[in-house]
């Protein structure tokens, strides 16, 4: 093979690798359906990373497999290979290129994180939080701002229409309380298209609130309050999964999240409100809790022992 | 100091080698201070625990073959994966790669007669035994069920309090063993190199053991601290981590991961070093980029200490912390990438001897790349927030710790077995072992990436039936993986007694351990070891005599 043939071969292999990577990046189908705008943003980042990973995977595995065939010892050849121990250009390249790739991943991830994650304080504080970051890492933040503007996800002022739900994790159930109403439920109902804030707590051990279709997860830590924010954009029924080991029935700690149309949501709240108001709502709530916690109650003696022990 | 460490052997024993004391099989069951005996003690003991951990893994995969919890009672499943993880980390990979290969190889590679502190070395090994007995003993009283991470409050409210306490004490004892061994390695590598061997003439395995030992010395005491406080919370009712008494469970996570992330590098850095030894020998080419690989080990050691909180992206840690740990974690890909590219450049253009050692070494590079790439995606905070605590993470760390560490350990077994035992392993069964391991491993762990992304959390005994098919594939792969151990066991035991006798240097390698007999004599070398070449001087026209001893090109 002469030099120009070699260059042609290498170029065409590179083109094929890039093409496969780009195609797989957008057609991997590895993620479940999305239920929020944040999740769509996540998928874009994930697909970009998958494209990069696919390219590197093909490159390195290709080199290894090629070497195994091309450079295997031939029968009777007991000699050594060439004495080549370094190459400054190559070594510089495989230090610099990965550095640039991971920094790019860092910056891009920061953009996405900035949009997806819950900001401390209410959402009106977002701009201020942004400024704090600005001081810490100006470059990253500028990138982030540019990206958020492009996305059209400019931080909105405090939203009085935000739906707030208190989420409590306990062995082995999730309890959803709707402040301002008397609704306490084992199902999470949310109106589509409105910002949601979940105030997450834990009663016994650490749990983790995860909805795969939201691409979000937040630990519920006893003694601490954590939050999660998102805007659901697709009506449907989605699984809520406990992602942090919480005991023997951890795998069974599942619930459902319903993204409803605003009308259905209002009706659901009203219906549950009525049930709660008919009798002493506390008693009902207690009953509800008991129904929900049948499994948890089996653990009650342990919790009691534990409480007695720790006081 | 370096100059005075090697004790000259008396002239009489030089003239009459048969007078050297021989190792009796009983020596291997005693408090013997010979680094080679201790290395073998470590390797055999830890391999036994690898089999125990493997049985537990098979039970776990058996339970997961169906979506319902139908094989084990609730709680027992949690004990199985808790003990699986704990045993594989603390009784298999960490002691096997540091105590096992480190002890056997380091003095031989640097031309020393033994480790710097032989008695300390034996103490470090014999601490493994009470640690292991406590951990195994906990099976009889109900073992820990809170995962190998033992996060409070779960680990505090357990009904198996004795088991949890045994678990904690076992970790403290095993951690102490690890620290003692690490101190020994640092001093040995620093002070006991033979005259003429500078730091940059050391085989790369010595560099990786230096980096590993530094990590162990800095990080392990923090784990001991966390375990001690956890023991107080569990047994004395204190509230360091217990929220009901005002403690903070997230602080435990910081302390735990301050050790346990570096522990990942403790498990992989020595293997990186072993691969850097094995690839050049069987490729018949010098290691590519010696200095870059040596420095990258040290860089991973330093950076590895400041990435721990990437295990806690969903714990409610402050934003700036998440961003800092994301960038630090991403940067670790750079030195790791340098190693991978250097290994590929090492085999490129060589004359690859595709024997079992080489196949496992190449398998290591190939599998580790998969784990490395998924690791980069996990470093990204938003990506991690979805896949944290899912099967995606399980897939990732098994690619790093099985596809990485265990493949590397097997490569090391095949490569150094002739030196350690004095007999060759059977190549046919070695290849059968490799193929079964490679196929079983990928069938078992690759599909787990999909499970995690699709929504299956880890550490569950029951799961959404939509994941049943993929889980069956994983369990089938695990079954093949379990089977794959038999050809190796058979091969290793059979050849110990009946294998073809090994010459001093069957692979024509240039590092010092191959300049002595197989197995080496008690004092390692008859005379002073001689540094004839640099460790990777392949392709310079050297030839080898009947015992495989190098004959320099310019001397012939």
pLDDT along chain B (556 residues), means of 10: 42 46 84 96 97 97 94 92 97 97 97 96 97 95 94 93 96 97 97 94 96 96 96 94 91 95 96 97 96 96 94 86 92 96 96 96 97 96 95 97 96 97 96 97 97 96 95 97 96 95 95 94 92 92 91 75
Total domains present in chain A: 2
- What is the per-residue pLDDT for A136? 36
Q: What's the rounded Cα separation, in Å, for the pair A2 and A70?
A: 18
Sign of the alpha-carbon dihedral angle for B71, B170, B205, B222: positive
Neighbours of B15 (CB within 10 A): 9
Q: What's the rounded Cα separation, in Å, for the pair A159 and A148?
A: 18
- What is the per-residue pLDDT for B25? 84
Q: What's the rounded Cα separation, in Å, for the pair B552 and B510?
A: 11
Angle at A302 between CA A296 and CA A303, to 5 degrees: 70
Q: Say whether both A197 and A262 belong to one domain.
A: yes
Longest dimension (CA), chain B: 78
Q: Say whether both A8 and A147 belong to one domain.
A: yes
Q: Which of B382, B395, B470 has the most A C-beta neighbours within 10 Å, making it the best mutation to test the interface with A?
A: B382
- What is the per-residue pLDDT for A121? 43
CB pairs under 8 A between A and B: 296
Contacts of B383 in chain A (CB under 8 A): 42, 45-46, 49, 109
- Quote the tokens at residue A280: 């002493």
- What is the per-residue pLDDT for B22? 76
| CA-based nearest distance B490→chain A, Å | 28
Q: Over the stretch A220-271, which tens digit does the pLDDT of each residue have?
A: 999 889 999 999 999 999 999 999 999 999 999 999 999 999 999 999 999 9
Q: Looking at the predicted structure, is the pLDDT value of residue A202 above 70?
A: yes
Q: Say whether both A126 and A223 belong to one domain.
A: no
Q: Which of A81, A254, A303, A309 has the most B C-beta neighbours within 10 Å, making it the best mutation to test the interface with B?
A: A81
- A173: in domain: yes
Q: Which residues contact A29 (CB under 8 A, 6 or more apart)?
A: none
Side-chain-facing half-sphere of A204: CA atoms under 13 Å: 27
Side-chain-facing half-sphere of B552: CA atoms under 13 Å: 7
Residue after which a domain boundary falls, among A123, A151, A179: A151
- A218: in domain: yes
Contacts of B464 in chain A (CB under 8 A): 239, 254
Give the chain B residue whose CA is nearest to the CA of A106.
B327
CB of A232 closer than 8 Å to CB of A265: no
CB of B425 closer than 8 Å to CB of B495: yes
Q: Which residues pair with A174 in a beta bridge?
A: A169
Neighbours of B497 (CB within 10 A): 8
- What is the per-residue pLDDT for A182? 87
Side-chain-facing half-sphere of B72: CA atoms under 13 Å: 22
Q: Say whether both A184 and A217 belong to one domain.
A: yes
CB of B453 closer than 8 Å to CB of A49: no
For residue B348, the 8-state DSSP code is: T
Which value, to the nearest 10 degrees, does the dihedral of the CA atoms of residues B448, B268, B148, B396 take?
-20
- Residue B383, CA distances (Å) to A128, B24, B184, B310, B518 in order: 25, 56, 40, 12, 50
Write out the DSSP string of chain A: --HHHHHHHHHHHHHHHHHHHHHHHHH---S----BHHHHHHHHHHHHHHHHHHHHHHHHHHHHHHHHHHSBPPTT-----------HHHHHHHHHHHHHHHHHHHHHHHHHHHHHSPPSS-GGGHHHHHHHHHHH-HHHHHHHHHHHHHHT-PPPPP-TT-EEEEEEEETTEEEEE-TTS--EESSEEEETTS-EEEEEEESSS-EEEEEGGGTEEEEE-TT--EEEEE-B-S-EEEEEEE-S--STTGGG-EEEEEEE-HHHHHHHHHHHHHHHHHS-HHHHHHHHHHHHTHHHHHTHHHHHHHHHHH-
Contacts of A133 in chain B (CB under 8 A): 319-320
Residues in chain B: 556
For residue B541, the 8-state DSSP code is: -
Q: Say whether both A113 and A8 belong to one domain.
A: yes
Query: Do the Cβ atoms of A113 and B250 come within 8 Å?
Result: no
- What is the per-residue pLDDT for B111? 95
Contacts of B232 in chain A (CB under 8 A): none
What share of chain A has pLDDT > 70, as a percent? 75
Query: Do the Cβ atoms of B239 and A244 come within 8 Å?
Result: no
- A84: in domain: no
Query: Do the Cβ atoms of A79 and B284 come within 8 Å?
Result: yes
Q: Say whether both A227 and A304 belong to one domain.
A: yes
- Tokens 């909180």 label which residue? B309
Neighbours of B224 (CB within 10 A): 18
Q: What's the burial of A45, exposed, middle or buried (CB within 10 Å: 0-12/13-18/19+)?
A: buried
Sign of the alpha-carbon dihedral angle for A301, A302, A305, A308: negative
- Tokens 């298999």 label which residue? B92
Give the chain B residue whose CA is nearest to the CA of A53.
B373
- A282: in domain: yes
- Domain of residue A16 covers 3-71+90-151
Q: Say whether both A270 and A140 belong to one domain.
A: no
Contacts of B315 in chain A (CB under 8 A): 219, 221
Of A46, A68, A251, the CB nearest to B460: A251
- A95: in domain: yes
Of B249, B370, B382, the CB nearest to A42: B382
Q: Say whether both A141 and A219 belong to one domain.
A: no
ipTM value for the complex: 0.92
Of B250, B340, B540, the CB nearest to A83: B540
Query: Do the Cβ atoms of B369 and A56 come within 8 Å?
Result: yes
Q: Say whether both A131 and A261 belong to one domain.
A: no
Q: In what order do the strands lie in the sheet with A216-220?
A: A188-191, A254-260, A236-242, A207-211, A216-220
Side-chain-facing half-sphere of B456: CA atoms under 13 Å: 28
The CATH number assigned to the domain holding A293 equals 2.60.40.420
Q: Which residues contact B441 (CB under 8 A, 6 or more apart)?
A: B367, B402, B403, B407, B477, B481
Instruction: Tell me the average pLDDT of chain A.
Output: 81
Q: Which of B60, B71, B73, B157 has the most A C-beta neighbours within 10 Å, making it the best mutation to test the interface with A?
A: B157
Q: What's the rounded Cα separation, in Å, for the pair A11 and A31?
A: 32
Q: What's the rounded Cα separation, in Å, for the pair B29 and B485?
A: 25
CB of B286 closer than 8 Å to CB of B537: yes
- A156: in domain: no
Q: What's the rounded Cα separation, in Å, for the pair B178 and B94?
A: 8
Query: Do the Cβ atoms of A91 and B242 come within 8 Å?
Result: no
- Quote the tokens at residue B173: 């004892």
Q: Which of B385, B403, B451, B542 has the most A C-beta neighbours within 10 Å, making it the best mutation to test the interface with A?
A: B385
Q: Which residues contact A28 (CB under 8 A, 6 or more apart)?
A: A47, A50
Q: Say whether both A145 and A215 belong to one domain.
A: no
- A177: in domain: yes
Q: Say whether both A179 and A135 belong to one domain.
A: no
Query: Do the Cβ atoms of B376 and A105 come within 8 Å?
Result: yes
- Tokens 């949310």 label which residue? A190
pLDDT band at A278 (very low <50, low <70, confident <90, very high): low
Neighbours of B237 (CB within 10 A): 14
- Tokens 């008919």 label which residue? A278
| CA-based nearest distance B162→chain A, Å | 15
* pTM of the predicted protein model: 0.89
- A244: in domain: yes
Contacts of A42 in chain B (CB under 8 A): 382-383, 386
Nearest CA to B167 out of B139, B144, B142 is that of B144
More confident residue, A291 or B150: B150
Of A57, A68, A243, the CB nearest to B457: A243
Q: Say whether both A12 and A145 belong to one domain.
A: yes
Domains observed in chain B: 34-551 (1.20.210.10)
Q: What's the rounded Cα separation, in Å, for the pair B509 and B538?
A: 9
- Tokens 């279709």 label which residue? A213
Q: What's the burial of A139, exposed, middle or buried (CB within 10 Å: 0-12/13-18/19+)?
A: exposed
Query: Do the Cβ atoms of B145 and A248 come within 8 Å?
Result: yes
CB of B74 closer than 8 Å to CB of A248: yes
């Amino acid at each position: 093979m002469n030099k120009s043939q070699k260059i042609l071969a290498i170029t065409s292999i590179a083109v094929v690798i890039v093409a496969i990577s780009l195609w797989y990046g957008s057609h991997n189908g590895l993620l479940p359906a999305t239920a929020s705008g944040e999740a769509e943003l996540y998928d874009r980042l994930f697909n970009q990373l998958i494209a990069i990973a696919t390219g590197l995977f093909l490159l390195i595995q290709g080199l290894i497999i090629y070497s195994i065939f091309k450079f295997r010892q031939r029968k009777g050849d007991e000699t050594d290979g060439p004495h080549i121990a370094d190459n400054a250009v190559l070594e510089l390249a495989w230090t610099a290129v990965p550095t640039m790739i991971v920094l790019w991943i860092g910056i891009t991830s920061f953009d996405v994180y900035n949009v997806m994650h819950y900001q401390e304080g209410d959402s009106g504080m977002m701009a201020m939080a942004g400024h704090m970051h600005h001081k810490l890492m100006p470059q990253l933040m500028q990138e982030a701002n540019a990206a958020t503007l492009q996305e059209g996800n400019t931080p909105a002022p405090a939203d009085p229409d935000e739906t707030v739900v208190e989420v409590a994790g306990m062995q082995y159930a999730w309890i959803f309380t709707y402040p301002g109403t008397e609704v306490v439920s084992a199902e999470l109902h949310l109106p589509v298209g409105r910002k949601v804030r979940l105030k997450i707590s834990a009663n016994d051990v650490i749990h983790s609130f995860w909805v795969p279709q939201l691409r979000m997860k937040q630990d519920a830590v006893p003694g601490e309050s954590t939050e999660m924010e998102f805007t659901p954009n697709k009506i449907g029924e989605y699984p809520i999964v406990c992602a942090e080991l919480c005991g023997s029935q951890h795998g069974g700690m599942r619930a459902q999240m319903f993204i409803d149309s605003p009308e259905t949501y209002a009706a659901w709240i009203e219906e549950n409100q009525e049930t709660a108001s008919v009798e002493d709502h506390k008693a009902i709530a207690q009953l509800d809790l008991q129904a929900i916690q049948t499994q948890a109650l089996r653990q009650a003696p342990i919790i009691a022992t534990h409480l007695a022990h720790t006081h | 100091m370096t100059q005075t460490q090697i004790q000259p052997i008396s002239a009489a024993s030089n003239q009459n080698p048969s007078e050297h004391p021989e190792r009796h099989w009983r020596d291997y069951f005693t408090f013997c201070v010979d680094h080679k005996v201790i290395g073998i003690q470590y390797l055999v003991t830890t391999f036994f625990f690898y089999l125990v951990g493997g049985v537990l893994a098979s039970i776990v995969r058996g339970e997961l073959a169906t979506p319902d919890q139908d094989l084990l009672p609730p709680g027992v499943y949690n004990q199985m994966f808790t003990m699986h993880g704990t045993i594989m980390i603390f009784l298999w990979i960490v002691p096997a790669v540091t105590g096992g290969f480190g002890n056997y190889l380091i003095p031989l590679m640097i031309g020393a007669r033994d480790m710097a502190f032989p008695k300390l070395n034996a103490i470090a090994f014999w601490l493994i035994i009470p640690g292991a007995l406590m951990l195994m003993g906990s099976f009889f009283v109900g073992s820990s069920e809170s995962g190998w991470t033992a996060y409070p409050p779960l680990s505090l409210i357990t009904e198996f309090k004795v088991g949890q306490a045994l678990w904690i004490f076992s970790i403290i004892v095993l951690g102490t063993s690890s620290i003692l061994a690490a101190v020994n390695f640092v001093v040995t590598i620093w002070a006991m190199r033979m005259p003429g061997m500078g730091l940059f003439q050391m085989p790369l395995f010595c560099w990786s053991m230096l980096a590993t030992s530094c990590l162990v010395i800095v990080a392990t005491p923090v784990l001991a601290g966390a375990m001690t406080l956890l023991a107080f919370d569990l047994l004395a009712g204190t509230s360091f981590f217990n929220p009901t008494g005002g403690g903070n469970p997230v602080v435990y996570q910081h302390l735990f991961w301050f050790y346990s992330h570096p522990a990942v590098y403790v498990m992989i850095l020595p293997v990186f070093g072993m691969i850097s030894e094995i690839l050049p020998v069987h490729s018949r080419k010098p290691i590519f980029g010696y200095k870059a690989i040596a420095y990258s080990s040290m860089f991973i050691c330093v950076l590895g200490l400041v990435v721990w909180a990437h295990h806690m992206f969903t714990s409610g840690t402050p934003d700036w912390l998440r961003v800092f740990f994301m960038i630090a974690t991403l940067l670790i890909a750079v030195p790791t990438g340098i190693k991978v590219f250097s290994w590929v450049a090492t085999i490129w253009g060589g004359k690859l001897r595709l024997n079992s050692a080489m196949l496992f070494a190449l398998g290591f590079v190939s599998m580790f790349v998969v784990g490395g790439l998924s690791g980069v995606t996990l470093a990204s905070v938003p990506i991690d927030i979805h896949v944290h605590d899912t099967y995606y993470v399980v897939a990732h760390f098994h690619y790093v710790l099985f596809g990485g560490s265990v493949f590397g350990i097997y490569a090391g077994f095949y490569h150094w077995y002739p030196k350690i035992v004095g007999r060759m392993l059977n190549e046919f069964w070695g290849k059968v072992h490799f193929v079964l391991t490679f196929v079983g491993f990928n069938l078992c762990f690759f599909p787990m990436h999909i499970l995690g992304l699709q929504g299956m959390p880890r550490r569950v005994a029951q799961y959404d039936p939509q994941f049943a098919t993929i889980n069956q594939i994983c369990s089938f792969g695990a079954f093949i993986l379990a089977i794959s151990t038999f050809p190796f066991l058979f091969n290793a035991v059979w050849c110990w007694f009946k294998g073809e006798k090994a010459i001093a240097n069957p692979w024509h390698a240039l590092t010092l351990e191959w300049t002595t007999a197989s197995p080496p004599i008690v004092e390692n070398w008859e005379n002073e070891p001689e540094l004839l070449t640099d460790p990777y001087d392949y392709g310079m026209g050297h030839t080898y005599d009947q015992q495989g001893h190098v004959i320099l090109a310019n001397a012939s």
